[in-house]
Amino acid sequence: MLTAIVLAAGQGKRMKSSLSKVMHPIAGRPLLHYSVQAAIDAGAKKVVVVLSPGNEELVSAYLTETFAAGIVTTTIQDPPRGTGDAARVGLEALGDIEGGVLTLCGDTPLLRATDLTPLVEAANADDVRVAFMSCDLDDPSGYGRVLRDADGHVTEIREDRDLKSEAQRATTEINAGVYLVEAAAFRESLSKIDSSNAQSEYYLTDIVSLTRVSGRHVVAVSGAITAMQGVNDQFQLVACEEQLYARSARELALAGARVASSARVDDTVTVETGATLGPGVCLRGRTHIASGAVLDVGTVVTDSTIAENAYVKPYSVITESSVGLGAQIGPFAHLRPGSDIGEDAHVGNFVETKKTKLHKGAKANHLAYLGDGDVGERANIGAGTIFCNYDGFSKSKTIIGKDAFIGSDSQLVAPLTIGDGAYVATGATVTTDVPADALAISRVKQDNKLGYASRLKSRLKGAADKKKAEAAKSDS
């Protein structure tokens, strides 16, 4: 049985953040998620995450919520005494296990199960007790080097600070920090490591030399450095995130969606074949995009569902909402949480909705605010309409019947019901319910004073001139 240890006890001081390093978000998930998922996808039946004191509550809560019960657990390394000691703590937490133990770092978000497959295959050879991943770098400075004997066999991994010669420093093969060790051999090696090194820590890398000394076989498996790239600071976090987004765009495109290279799709998002994501589209959280949906330039969608053949026009923002079959949104629309836009409904430019349902064919095409509303089928909301849903203390609902017409620049003061087929005249302030098929008019009577405009302008100009003269006098 394959088990796994994920080392996540580092302090992450270079992140310069109060948030635990492994919980920093990257492409929609905490950094730690990717290593744990890679281990599970590679076949690990049980995973233990080694943490430092202080961050266990937040991390444990996430792991419990995200992964199947009983698969992922946590343990604490206290005090922190290096990677070798962390691996020992993790191995103890796994209990009396047999088989291979996969050990990897909690800050390698680009690592996937496919990258681990060659390691698993190499470790399955009869005479191999330790297999680890390595790669070649033009500039290996700062990394532990893989040292070999004259016959090319791995003899040890030596950390950068402990290199003893220029020949060792010139070695370009570096340790990637991913190991697969037979459980019994792992216990034996970890019991023998010591802290006689430049950092006075227990190095996990020492298991290689200890295994070789015991006469057992060690093999290094070459891998791509990009897959094993770690995160130590905010710059590296962003760099890895860009690679995750590029990977996502490529995979979605190969699966049949049309995805611009600049689209940013979180790992938590699902996009069906036939969907189109334009340049700069950002999809976040638990978002689902159905086949045939088109999301145009700059659209930002979070925790929302976009149905088949919906069209979200440029620079619209949608959060915790749903957009129905064939609906049209935007451009520059804002669907706030609780918005439910029905089939073939329209929410146009500079329209904001919140906790509002637009039924099939309803339209609000221009410059409106619809809060706490229910808009019936085929109802039309004119430009400048406001649902006055908040009185400073509580919010109330506006209900508009099917086929109703709300004229431009209307204020609908909730709680309010507009009946089916009713007509609200332009510029109305509506404070009482409007029956079905009724016309609601609320206006001050217009009074035209003939010939008065020129006299008014003269009076206003005289007052302005007087004010300027008084100001000039006071300045002198």
Tell me the CATH number at 394: 2.160.10.10
Residues 70 and 205 in one domain: yes
Residue 461: is its pLDDT beyond 90? Answer: yes
Please give the average per-residue pLDDT across 53-58, as a whole number: 87
Q: What is the pLDDT of residue 471?
A: 87
Q: What is the pLDDT of residue 124?
A: 82
Q: Which two tokens stand for residue 161?
A: 């600070």
Beta bridge partners of 25: 30
Which DSSP symbol is given to 425?
P
**Domain for residue 475, yes or no?**
no
Residues 375 and 261 in one domain: yes
Please give the average per-residue pLDDT across 59-86, as a whole number: 94
pLDDT range class, residue 142, cuts 50, 70, 90? confident
Please give the average per-residue pLDDT across 354-370, as a whole number: 98
**Domain for residue 336, yes or no?**
yes
Domain end: 211, 228, 245, which one? 228
Residues 190 and 311 in one domain: no
Please give the average per-residue pLDDT across 38-48, as a whole number: 96
Residues 202 and 341 in one domain: no
**Which of 288, 334, 346, 366 is labelled catalytic?**
366
Please give the Cα distance from 3 to 400 (Å, whole number): 59
The sign of the torsion formed by the CA atoms of 58, 59, 64, 65 equals positive
pLDDT range class, residue 428, cuts 50, 70, 90? very high
What type of residue is 75?
A: T
Mean pLDDT, the chain, integer: 94
Residue found under tokens 């051999």: 185
Residue found under tokens 């659209």: 299
Domain count, the chain: 2
Q: What is the pLDDT of residue 443?
A: 85
Residues 192 and 311 in one domain: no
Residue 265: is its pLDDT beyond 80? Answer: yes
**Domain for residue 335, yes or no?**
yes
C-alpha to C-alpha distances, 7 to 74, 103, 207, 241, 471, nearest whole angstrom:
10, 7, 16, 20, 74
The sign of the torsion formed by the CA atoms of 313, 319, 320, 321 equals negative
Please give the Cα distance from 347 to 367 (Å, whole number): 10
pLDDT range class, residue 99, cuts 50, 70, 90? very high
**Pick the residue with more confidence: 62 or 142?**
62
**Domain for residue 466, yes or no?**
no
**Domain for residue 55, yes or no?**
yes
Please give the average per-residue pLDDT across 313-327, as a whole number: 98
Q: What is the pLDDT of residue 61?
A: 94
Residues 224 and 271 in one domain: no
Residues 7 and 74 in one domain: yes
Strands of 173-280, DSSP E = 173-182, 217-222, 258-259, 264-265, 270-271, 276-277
Q: What is the pLDDT of residue 382?
A: 98
Residue 127: is its pLDDT beyond 80? Answer: no
Say how many CA atoms lie within 13 Å of 18 toward its Cβ: 0
Q: CB neighbours (10 Å) of residue 439?
A: 11
pLDDT range class, residue 214, cuts 50, 70, 90? confident
Range of the domain at 141: 3-228
Q: What is the pLDDT of residue 128?
A: 79
**Pick the residue with more confidence: 447 or 375?**
375
Q: What is the pLDDT of residue 77?
A: 94
Residue 126: is its pLDDT beyond 80? Answer: no
Domain end: 228, 248, 269, which one? 228
- Helix H or strand E segment including 406: strand 405-406
Residue 426: is its pLDDT beyond 90? Answer: yes
Please give the Cα distance from 110 to 220 (Å, whole number): 20
Q: What is the pLDDT of residue 123?
A: 86
**Domain for residue 80, yes or no?**
yes
Residues 432 and 393 in one domain: yes
Residues 224 and 267 in one domain: no
Report helix, strand and coil shares of the chain as percent, to nearest 5. 25, 30, 45
Residue 21: is its pLDDT beyond 90? Answer: yes
**Domain for residue 447, yes or no?**
no
CB contact at 8 A, 392 and 408:
no
Q: What is the pLDDT of residue 369?
A: 98
Residues 163 and 201 in one domain: yes
For the question of residue 366 being annotated catalytic, the response is yes
Domain end: 228, 249, 268, which one? 228
Q: How far does CA 89 lie from the centroid of its chain? A: 31
CATH number of the domain at 62, please. Answer: 3.90.550.10
Residues 143 and 271 in one domain: no
pLDDT range class, residue 213, cuts 50, 70, 90? confident
Q: What is the pLDDT of residue 462?
A: 93
Please give the Cα distance from 97 to 187 (Å, whole number): 11
Residue 381: is its pLDDT beyond 90? Answer: yes
Q: What is the pLDDT of residue 73?
A: 96
Residue 215: is its pLDDT beyond 80? Answer: no
Residue 376: is its pLDDT beyond 90? Answer: yes
**Domain for residue 244, yes or no?**
no
What's the pLDDT tens digit per position in 389-398?
999 999 999 9
Q: What is the pLDDT of residue 313?
A: 98
Q: What is the pLDDT of residue 272?
A: 98
Residues 159 and 197 in one domain: yes
